[in-house]
Amino acid sequence: MLGLVLILTLSGCAVFLGSRIESREERAEDRFPPLGEFVEIDGTRIHALVEGSGPDLVLIHGASGNLRDFTFDLVDRLKGRYRVFAFDRPGLGYSDRTDPDYARPFNARAESPQEQAAILSRAAKELGAENPIVLGHSYGGSVAMAWGLDHPAAALVILAGATMPWPGALGAQYTVLGTGFGGAVVPPVITAFAGSERIESAVGGIFAPQTPPEGYIDHVGAGLTLRRSSLRANARQVNSLRPHVVRMSSRYDGLTLPVELLHGALDDTVPLQIHSGPLAGLLPNANLTVLPGIGHMPHHAAPGETLAAIDRAARRAGLK
């Protein structure tokens, strides 16, 4: 009898948890719907927003994000002078994984920066972009570098980019979620129970020492990041990134197109001295701008300097 009660109790808990998870994921998608259009590349749907006119400019967001990070403010600043293509990276926002096997709960493999650059460059071409300036923020910086190494681009703009090998581990969150078992069993709990305090703390840490702009959390769609599929995609992409940048860094000295590097001096998420500093010494045609007092989000904390870096890249590429 006791065993039957235990089984019924566990079954009831599982039903409650499943219902709560599905409800929270549905609410997130209802509240933060797609902003752009979808391009299908070999059966993979990529979510893209295209606005403005002028030289073509691709925007690639960082870890735990989606293209809404750019639509909060940056796209409006740019669309009067560039034709802007903002993408959700594979597995995040509303873009599909590049391989269905990556989406399996117990699979620890994920898209490399090279795989992401390949499909996003094809999506950009499908939408009409030719030889664009490619901007990448944080993790997106590695995707932008892979794009520049392997696909047509006029210039690169790297904002606080994770582009070089780093010492040490990434921390318990990525270590656990990046594994097959941890990535299968932990995300449902996070999806079901993560509250506004957790979201505010995580976003605050990314912006430090600055604070998020008013309205940013309500705009960016943090609930989309807390979906099970997004948590797995993000953790596994980040957890598997280092070997890819090790290989990519051996090719950087052959990348001759103009590269603008913009990095906050107080960035503790992707430290300047590990990433953009050494990267500038490897690239034959790089210009590094260090922003005193700025953390990991220069496109929000220093929008004027961000636009200036993009304009410099355009001029250096002969597009302005």
CATH number at residue 247: 3.40.50.1820
Q: What is the pLDDT of residues 236-250, one digit of tens each?
A: 999 999 999 999 999
Instruction: Provide the sign of the torsion angle of the four alpha carbons 283, 289, 292, 295, taken in this order.
Output: negative
Q: Is the Cβ–Cβ distance between 139 and 246 less than 8 Å? A: no
- Please give the mean pLDDT across all residues of the chain: 92
Token digits of residue 218: 């309500």
In angstroms, the CA 219 to CA 216 distance is 5
With respect to residue 94, please indicate whether it lies within any of the assigned structural domains. yes
With b for 16 or more beta-carbon neighbours within 10 A and e for fewer, the 156-194 pattern comes to bbbbbbbbbbeeeeeeebbeebbbeebbbebbbebbbeb
Q: Quote the DSSP letter at residue 212.
A: P
Residue 194 predicted with pLDDT over 90 = no
- DSSP lists the bridge partners of residue 156 as 134, 259
d(CA 75, CA 60): 12
Whole-number pLDDT of residue 259: 98
Q: Is residue 13 part of a domain?
A: no
CB 306 within 8 A of CB 159: yes
Does residue 135 lie within any of the structural domains? Answer: yes
Using DSSP, state whether 240 is helix, strand or coil: coil
Measure Cα distances from 217 to 35, 118, 228 in Å: 16, 30, 19
Q: What is the percentage of the chain residues whose pLDDT exceeds 90?
A: 84
β pairing state of 44-52 and 83-87: antiparallel
Distance between CA atoms of residues 143 and 169, nearest Å: 21
pLDDT score of 7? 36
Q: What total number of domains does the chain contain? A: 1
User: Vertex 221, ends 289 and 78: CA angle to 5°?
Assistant: 40
The mean pLDDT value for 254-274 works out to 97
What is residue 163's three-state secondary structure? coil
Supply the DSSP string of 101-139, one letter for each residue: GGGSTT------HHHHHHHHHHHHHHTT--S-EEEEETH
Per-residue pLDDT tens digits for 152-187: 999 999 999 999 999 987 777 788 888 888 989 899
Would residue 26 count as lying in a domain? no
User: 31 pLDDT exceeds 60?
Assistant: yes
pLDDT in tens, 77-115: 999 999 999 999 999 999 999 999 999 999 999 999 999
Instruction: Say which residue the tokens 């500038």 belong to.
Output: 280
CA 262 to chain centre: 17
pLDDT score for 15: 55
- Phi (first) and psi of residue 56, to 5 degrees: -75, 135
pLDDT at 285 over 70: yes
Confidence at 1, pLDDT banded by 50, 70, 90: very low
| % of the chain with per-residue pLDDT over 70 | 95
Residue 215 lies inside a defined structural domain of this protein: yes
Q: What is the mean pLDDT of residues 254-281?
A: 97
Could you tell me the pLDDT band of residue 267, with boundaries at 50, 70 and 90?
Answer: very high
What span, in angstroms and rounded, lies between the C-alpha atoms of 117 and 235?
A: 18
Does 5 fall in a domain? Answer: no
Radius of gyration of the chain (CA): 20
Mean local confidence (pLDDT), 208-234: 94
Query: In 3-state terms, what secondary structure has residue 86?
Result: strand
Q: Residue 282: which domain range?
A: 34-316
In a domain, residue 4? The reply is: no
Tell whether the model's pLDDT for residue 8 goes beyond 70: no
Token code pair at residue 88: 């959700």
- The predicted pLDDT at position 20 comes to 86
Name the pTM for this structure. 0.93
pLDDT of residue 9: 36
Asked whether residue 244 is domain-assigned, the answer is yes
Classify 37 as helix, strand or coil: strand
pLDDT band with cut points at 50, 70 and 90 for residue 120: very high
46-55, 116-125, 160-169, 306-315: which range is least confident on average?
Answer: 160-169
Burial string for 292-315 (b: 16+ CB within 10 Å, else e) reads eebbbbbbbbbeebbbebbbbbbe
Span 18-35, average pLDDT: 91
